[in-house]
Amino acid sequence: MADHEAGVAASGVQLRLPLASAEPPGAERSAEVRACFAELRGLLASGAKIYVHCSAGLHRTGMVTHAFLRFLGHSRAEALARMAELREATAEAATEPRLAWGEQFAGSDDASG
């Protein structure tokens, strides 16, 4: 566990979605991602705060954040605007291939896709 994760066990739930690189994961991971997003949605509904991070908080963070916002029903424009509000550098690093990957989760609220 990284130093910045040390307090998580005492203060909340930690979900991991390991991604080997900043490239979008393959289709074989879609069900896993949807299940993670469904769990995150439940946590939000119960009043929890969610923190998404990777090593630099740019590529993987932006890709997953955009996909999660689309999963929650935000339009592409709304998701991009929200990311820019949260962290401009992350929004700027969210290149088209990463954003396009997130579109498969748009409005998806079940594990079947």
CB contact set of 105 (below 8 Å; sequence gap of 6+): 33, 34, 37, 67, 68, 70, 71
Average pLDDT over residues 82-107: 91
Read off the pLDDT band of 59 (50, 70, 90). Answer: confident
Average pLDDT over residues 74-98: 92
SS3 73: coil
| pLDDT tens-digit series, residues 29-56 | 999 999 999 999 999 999 888 888 887 7
Read off the pLDDT band of 113 (50, 70, 90). Answer: very low
Measure CA 107 to chain center.
14
Per the CB < 8 A criterion, the answer to whether 80 and 67 are in contact is: no
Answer whether residue 6 shows pLDDT above 90: no
